[in-house]
Structure 1
Amino acid sequence: MSQPEAALLFAAGLGTRMRPLTDNRPKPLVKVAGRTLIDHALELVTPLGLPRVVANAHYRSDMLAAHLNGSGVAISHEAPQVLETGGGLKQALPLLGAGPVFTLNTDAVWRGPNPLHALCAAWNAERMDALLLCVPRAQVHGHKGKGDFLIGDDGRLSRGPGAVYSGVQIIKTEGLAQIEARVFSMWDLWRPMLAAGRMYGLAYRGDWCDVGHPDAIEIAEDMLAYV
């Protein structure tokens, strides 16, 4: 199916779990294998040739904006507070435009197929409102949770300990107009989709590392170096 034409990189978090590395920089500028986390994310986005790529920013947003200067990435500044994932997506809509969008967390690295290409190949706008890329537990690194979703035989998602949500998805944004709050979670957009049976999941075929704390940097680098 046709791919979305815009992507939002979530980069506005305070990075509290990554301290002390985030005492003097935003988490997306923390380096893994010699490259910043946000550059790892852009490596996934760039091959798609999207006309609109946006990063939201809050903590030390001037540093993030300077790093992205000249990259073609627009900045959605969040002030005076972080808007969370749902609120951040809603605020960025004027920059993203109409239609489904990719969203990506920037605190992860991947080894294997480009996850955005995998989502594009499975996306079906007629029956899906969201398609989340989920990682089987055996391929998860640096993350101790029990998993977020179960993927049914038809691809529909249900909540439960199973595959781990990778932070990458394709999602329709029309439902944001029904949410009056300014600060809210992605779950406020997901719940009606889940209830309607229009929220789907795709199992990733490679490896994924959650780089949410300093110890995960070495884990991520070991994963990337593995042959």
Structure 2
Amino acid sequence: MQAMLFAAGLGTRLKDETADKPKALVDVGGKPLLQHAIEKLSDEGASRIVVNVHHFAPQVINFINSKDWGVPVLISDESNKLLETGGGLKFASHLFTPNEPILIYNVDILSNINLQDVISAHKQSNAIATLVVRQRETQRYFKFDSEHNLVGWINKKTSETKVSRPGNFEKATEMAFSGIHIVEPQIFDFMPAEDRFSIVQVYLELAKTKSIKGYFDTSELWMDVGKPAQLEEARRIYGS
């Protein structure tokens, strides 16, 4: 598989932790988050990893170049403009091989999910994208029908909804996004013309006419360490 590692975020929620370094280089258990993510992807079979950079980009680039990762780790440099998730993936499109799915992984995720299981499920489904989701409490949820097809999205705090398939929306299962997803390269053909946009909007639009599946993850460990409380918990678990 080939992989995209989203590491360009500003990390503003971590406050003092990211005053002099990017979120990708915040330490957990004696390793920067970036190292945890690259090793996770490499250990599970990634043949190449593309990392997008923006905030403190030179620090991230220097760290990547300082190690032998065992697989090619390529840089997609967004120093001039932060492009969000969809724009970041689109900007990096030339760095991927054209006939192989792309696994996307957020740098602030710590998880013991078996990525090969996700890839296998994605390939069997013939979906254009597969979104890893979990049952957990949050504000925003994807909604899936009984066959795990994406049918919409809801923000519980604001009551905003985005409906992709009206007939199945009301009874659909609400699941929280895990920051892990797989896309087929053909998704680039359906992206908007602008350079900055969210991949979530692309998924919700494509779900109206194409198959976008949810992978319901029940693995033991999943953490988003982009907030101080979660970062502190991760350091307790990982020993620092």
TM-score scaled to structure 2, two decimals? 0.81
Which amino acid is the alignment partner of residue 51 of structure 1?
A: S
Asked if residue 177 in structure 1 is aligned to residue 189 in structure 2, the reply is: yes
- In structure 2, what residue type is equivalent to 1:191? L
Shift of 1:113: 3.5
1:66 aligns with 2:67: no
Give the drift of 1:187: 2.4
**Is 1:191 the counterpart of 2:204 in the alignment?**
yes
Residue 147 of structure 1: how far off its partner (Å): 4.5
- List runs of 5+ in structure 1 lacking aligned partners: 138-143
Partner residue of 2:143 out of 150, 162, 165: 150
Query: Offset at 1:192?
Result: 3.0
Could you tell me whether the CA contact under 8 Å between 1:85 and 1:185 is conserved in 2? Answer: yes
Taking a change above 3 Å as real, the CA distance of residues 126 and 90 of structure 1, as seen in their structure-2 partners, is same
Q: Distance in 2 between matches of 1:133 and 1:103?
A: 10
* Offset of residue 204 of structure 1: 1.1
2:21 to 16, 20, 25: 25
Q: Please state how far the C-alpha of 1:36 moved relative to its aligned partner.
A: 1.2
SS of 1:20's equivalent in the other structure is helix
CA contact (8 A) 1:176 1:189 kept: no
Q: Which residue of 1 is the match for residue 130 of structure 2? A: 131
Deviation at 1:22, TM superposition (A): 0.5
Q: In the TM superposition, what is the alpha-carbon distance from 1:197 to its structure 2 partner?
A: 4.7
CA distance in structure 1 between the partners assigned to 2:237 and 2:144 by the alignment = 25
- Residue 101 to residue 63, structure 1, CA distance change in 2 (3 Å): same
Aligned length, in residue pairs: 213
Q: What do the CA deviations read for 1:12-67 (whole angstroms, capped 9, x no partner)?
A: 11111111111111101001222211122123211233322110001111111111
Partner of 1:81: 81
Runs of 4+ in 1 over 3 A off after TM superposition: 221-225
TM (normalized to structure 1)? 0.85
Per-residue CA deviations over 1:136-168 (Å, capped at 9, x if unaligned) read 11xxxxxx6234123332121232463210110
Within the alignment, does 1:47 sit opposite 2:61 as a pair? no
Identity level (%): 31
> C-alpha separation between the residues in 1 aligned to 2:122 and 2:144?
15
Q: Unpaired segments of 5 or more residues in structure 2? A: 157-173
Which structure would you say has the larger Rg? 2
Deviation at 1:96, TM superposition (A): 1.5
Shift, 1:125, TM fit: 6.2
The separation in 1 between residues aligned to 2:125 and 2:144, in whole angstroms, is: 19
AA of the residue aligned to 1:58: H
Between the aligned partners of 1:58 and 1:52, the Cα distance in structure 2 is 20
Q: 1:199 and 1:152 mapped to 2: Cα distance?
A: 11
C-alpha RMSD of the superposition? 2.0
